[in-house]
A and B are shown apart, each in its own frame.
Chain A
């Protein structure tokens, strides 16, 4: 069953603006990961945040995790046209023996 659910389903912003995507999940997790998928390609890992962490940064990416609300957010600052892609959150629950459970993704369009 789907755990991570992203919001919004689609987002269109101007180049240079910040983009925020949200993810909610249903059960306790070991870690939460964000991935990017360009059209016609495989997913690329962006950032992993563990259940005992609240915030992580990687370049222009900032991820937060609120385990009490079972939610996470991905912020992309100073967006670029190359950031146009679909973004997925995914969670490892249980003992990690059953792979990632993905949400349906947010399709982000950066207008030049």
Chain B
């Protein structure tokens, strides 16, 4: 079934550790996105990529980095995790930047 695959589904991580959240899509979409969802705050955009080879900062980019080496993959890296990065992280993709987005089922990350 076509869609977005995120891994891991959940993770508990010690503060200060490095962590990469994986995201792969098989729909050949040009644009991809990372959001975090926190209770009471809704979804906030972390980073985005409108096409392979390009990335941009969203609303809350600090502490996170991304790369887009090819069309299908869009990993999100926490260089040195902090407790405030405890959240549910969603990867999404869309055919073009203005198009409807398809979401993965999220990664639940707890930083202790």
A residues with a Cβ closer than 8 A to B are: 1-2, 30-31, 33, 40-45, 48, 88, 90, 92, 95-105
Contact = CB atoms under 8 A, between A and B. Distances in A.
Contact of A44 (B35, B45, B56, B103): B103
Given A97-B50, A99-B58, A104-B40, A42 B106 contact: yes
Interface size class of B (residues with CB under 8 A): 20 to 34
A22 to B, nearest CB: 15
Interface of B: 4, 33, 35, 40-45, 48, 50, 56, 58-59, 90, 92, 97-98, 100-106
A41 B98 CA distance: 23
Contacts of A90: 43
A43 B100 contact: no
A88 B42 contact: yes
B1 to A, nearest CB: 13
Given A33-B101, A40-B105, A99-B35, 8 more contacts: A41-B106, A42-B90, A42-B105, A90-B43, A98-B45, A98-B56, A99-B97, A103-B42
A2 B42 contact: yes
Contacts of B58: 98-99
A33 B43 CA distance: 14
A79 B104 CA distance: 26
Contacts of B103: 42-44
Contacts of B97: 92, 95-97, 99
A102 B45 CA distance: 9
Contacts of B35: 99, 102
A88 to B, nearest CB: 7
